[in-house]
Amino acid sequence: MRELRVAVLIIAVSLPSFSASDRQGDALYDMKQKLNVTGNQLSDWNQNQVNPCTWNSVICDNNNNVIQVTLAARGFAGVLSPRIGELKYLTVLSLAGNRISGGIPEQFGNLSSLTSLDLEDNLLVGEIPASLGQLSKLQLLILSDNNFNGSIPDSLAKISSLTDIRLAYNNLSGQIPGPLFQVARYNFSGNHLNCGTNFPHSCSTNMSYQSGSHSSKIGIVLGTVGGVIGLLIVAALFLFCKGRRKSHLREVFVDVAGEDDRRIAFGQLKRFAWRELQIATDNFSERNVLGQGGFGKVYKGVLPDGTKIAVKRLTDYESPGGEAAFLREVELISVAVHRNLLKLIGFCTTQTERLLVYPFMQNLSVAYRLRDFKPGEPVLNWPERKRVAIGTARGLEYLHEHCNPKIIHRDVKAANVLLDEDFEPVVGDFGLAKLVDVQKTSVTTQVRGTMGHIAPEYLSTGKSSERTDVFGYGIMLLELVTGQRAIDFSRLEEEDDVLLLDHVKKLQREGQLGSIVDRNLNQNYDDEEVEMMIQIALLCTQSSPEDRPSMSEVVRMLEGEGLAERWEEWQQVEVTRRQEYERMQRRFDWGEDSVYNQEAIELSGGR
C-alpha cells in the first residue's frame, strides 16, 4: 500500500510538466488550425506529439517552454487563435507578411513574457485591444499595414519597456497617447492621428527601420532617381579607375544598405551593411579569427549594442544564379529553426563578398572542448558528451526529414558542433553546401568536407545524400569517445592506423575498446554507454550507404530502441566480410609468391 501511495505521489508531481507541454502543443496546434494552414506547411506540427519543441519554426528554452514562434510570409489566410495567449513563456511572435484577417484576441494580453510582437502586413481589422498594455516586457510592437480602426489604447503608453512601436498605414484616428512620442522609434504615418503637419509631433522618428513594406510614391520616385544617378556615378568611377589602373587590380566593395530585401521574406533576419561588419570585426582582423573551414573563415565581432556575433566570410560563393540564388539559399537556411541548429541572424552581400552572421557561442566548439582547451578550462564530462551526441543527432534529423527541400550538411564533425552557454550542442555550417530536393540526388563537382570525416562514396563519386552525413556523424561519435582527431599521422609512430575509424575497428576486434576512451574523462564514464556509442558509430560508418541507419533511427538507438538487433546484424555481416577479406588476402599472398617464383625462373632461364 505504501508503494502505491509513493507511485501516486510521483505521478501527481510529474503531471504539471506533462500538462504544460500538452497545453503548449494544444495551443500551437489550435493556432495552426485557425490559420488555415494547407499543404505540407507545418506538417511536423503533430497534435499527438506532446512536446512541440522539435516543430518547425518553434524555439524552446532548456525547460521545454516555447519562447519563439516565427511564421512570417507563409501565406496563411486564417485568423488568430485566442489560445496563443496560453504561451506564457513566449518572448517572440512573428506572423508578418501573411493574409491573416479578423482581430487581435484579447487573450494576447496574457503573454506576460512577450518582448516582440510583429503582425505587420496582414488584413487584420478592428480595434487594437487595450489588453496589450498588460505586456510589461514588450519592447517591439509592429502592427503596420493592416486595417485597424479606432483609437490607440492609452494602456500602450504604460509599457515602460517599449523601444519601437509601428502602427503606420491603418485606419486609426484620434489622439496618440503622449508618452508614445518618447519611445526611441515610432511610426504612426498613414492614419488620421494628431501628428505630422500642423501638429507639434512628427508622425515618425528619423531613425531608419530594418523593415517595412510601405513607402510613399514620392519616396519611390526619389529612390529610383537617386539609384539611377548613383549607378551612373559608380559606373563612371569604375571606368575611370579601370583606365587609370589597368596594371594595379584591387578589391572594390560596393556597399549595400543595411535593410531587409523585401523581395524575399526573411522574417527576423537582418541584412547588415558591409561597413557594420567591418567595424564589428575590427576590419576582419586575424586576431578575431575563430576558425576556418571549407566555406571560409569565421570572425568574432561585437555590434554597437554589445552583442557578440560570429561572421562567416564565404569563399567560392559564386553560383550561376548570382545574388538571387544566394538570397534564396539564405532564406532556406533562415527557416531551419531547431534548438540544436545554429540560428542565422543576418547576412551581407556586396559585389565581391557574401557573409553570414550568427550568434557567438561562448563555449566554442566540441572539438575545442575535446582537444584544444586551455589549462584550467573545464573538460567535457561524459554526461555532456552524451548530450552532444543526442542533440547533434536531433539537429541532423531535422535537416534531413523536416526541411523542404532537405538540407545535406556534408561536413559533420566535432568542429562544426558548437556549444551555447549551457553546453547545449548546436550544429553549425549547415545549408552552406548544396540544398537537395527530395526527388533529386546531390551531385557536386567539388567534394566539400574534411579528410577522415568524408564518406567513401562521396569521396570517390562526388555523390552525397543523408547517409553521407550519417557517416560523418559516426566519426564524430568516435571523437566524443576518444577525444582524438579523425585522422592523425602521429599514430604511425606506434604502428597504429592513421584513420580513427580503422584504429577503433582494430581495437574492437581485439576486445580492447577500453584502452581508447579519452583519458581526460579520468575513467568517469559508464562502460555500457561507451560501448553503446561505439556500436552506433560503427553502424553509422559502414562502407555501404544503404547499410547505414537514418538519423531518426540513430536518435531512437541513442534513446535505447533497436540497437541490439542492428548490432547483431552488423556483427554477422562483419564476420563474413572479415573472412572474405582474409581469404582474398591469402589468395593474393599465394599469387604473389607464384609470380615472384615465375619471374625468377624466367630470369634464370634467359641467362
β-strand pairing of 147-150 with 140-142:
unpaired
State the amino acid at position 10 in one-letter form.
I
121 carries an active-site annotation: no
At 74, list the grid cell: 507563409
Q: Maximum distance among all alpha carbons in the chain?
A: 117
Q: Is the bond into 549 cis (omega within 30 degrees of 0)?
A: no
Contact 67, 90 (CB under 8 A): yes
Instruction: Kindly give, in sequence order, each residue whose CB lies less than 8 Å from that of residue 273, ignoring residues fewer than 6 positions away.
Output: 255, 256, 257, 258, 348
3-state SS track over 501-550: HHHHHHHHHCCCHHHHCCHHHCCCCCHHHHHHHHHHHHHHCCCCHHHCCC
CA distance 54 to 59: 8
Which DSSP symbol is given to 499?
A: B
521 close to 556: Cβ distance less than 8 angstroms: no
- Grid cell, residue 278, equals 567591418
DSSP output for 216-246: -HHHHHHHHHHHHHHHHHHHHHHHHHHHH-T
Per DSSP, 569 falls in state H
Spatial CA neighbour of 535 closest among 553, 558, 551: 558
Which residues are annotated as part of the binding site for ATP?
290-298, 312
- d(Cα 110, Cα 200) in Å, to the nearest integer? 35
Per the DSSP assignment, residues forming a β-bridge with 192 are: 173
CB 352 within 8 Å of CB 278: no
Q: Among the options 145, 261, 411, 429, which is catalytic? A: 411
The residue whose grid cell reads 575513467 is 523
Sequence-distant (≥ 6) Cβ neighbours of residue 279 within 8 angstroms: none
**Following CA atoms 147, 150, 154, 157 in sequence, which dihedral angle do they give, to the nearest 10 degrees?**
20
User: Are the CB atoms for 470 and 549 separated by under 8 Å?
Assistant: yes
Q: Quote the cell numbers at residue 390.
A: 543526442
Query: What are the residues facing 94 on neighbouring strands?
Result: 70, 118
The C-alpha cell that represents 578 in the structure block: 572479415
Tell me whether strands 463-464 and 442-443 are parallel, antiparallel or unpaired: antiparallel
Side chain identity, residue 526? D
Q: Which residues are annotated as a binding site?
A: 290-298, 312
- How far apart, in Å, are the Cα atoms of 17 and each of 14, 68, 144? 6, 19, 37
Q: What is the dihedral of CA 500, 505, 510, 512, to 10 degrees?
A: 50
Q: Compute the radius of gyration of the chain from its Cα atoms.
A: 29
Nearest CA to 332 out of 321, 275, 50, 92 is that of 321
Q: What one-character-per-residue DSSP string does 125-185 give?
A: EEEPPGGGGG-TT--EEE--SSEEEEPPPGGGGG-TT--EEE--SSEEEEPPPGGGGGSSE
Residues annotated as part of the active site: 411
